[in-house]
């Protein structure tokens, strides 16, 4: 199994209450059940206000590297990620467990 973690940081001046940000969060939430390769899927807003904290997180798992590639290339994932490119940066970690 591979754990796929993503942490998003909203750009300066961008609020999570903005309609475009809320739409992007919903787009990721709706990926659950839409992409067959996803073995598990969690995403949510950060609940702390520490300066080093990121704003939104994805915690998911897939079976193997092929599944990770298929997930990353899936049109629904590409569309959701594309929305975030307008107003956020992110970091990713993928590891086998």
Structure tokens at 13: 């001046």
Q: Which of 24, 68, 63, 60 is nearest to 42 (CA)?
A: 60
Q: Look up the pTM and report it.
A: 0.93
Q: What is the pLDDT of residue 10?
A: 98
CA separation for the pair 80, 40 (Å, rounded): 17
- Condensed to tens digits (0 to 9), the pLDDT of residues 56-94 reads 999 999 999 999 999 999 999 999 999 999 999 999 999
In angstroms, rounded to a whole number, what is the distance separating the alpha carbons of residues 4 and 96? 9
Residue 61: its pLDDT value, please?
98
Rounded CA-CA distance 2/51 in Å is 29
| Rounded CA separation 10/61 (Å) | 24
Mean pLDDT of 22-45: 96
Given this model, what pLDDT does residue 37 score?
A: 96
């Amino acid at each position: 199994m591979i754990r796929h973690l993503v942490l998003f940081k909203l750009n300066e001046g961008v609020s999570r209450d903005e309609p475009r940000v809320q739409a992007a969060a919903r787009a990721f939430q709706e990926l659950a059940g839409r992409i067959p390769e996803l073995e598990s899927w969690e995403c949510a807003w950060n609940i702390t206000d520490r300066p080093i904290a990121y704003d939104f997180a994805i915690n998911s798992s897939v079976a193997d590297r092929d599944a990770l590639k298929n997930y990353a290339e899936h049109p629904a994932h590409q569309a959701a990620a594309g929305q975030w490119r307008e107003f956020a940066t992110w970091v990713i970690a993928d590891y086998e467990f």
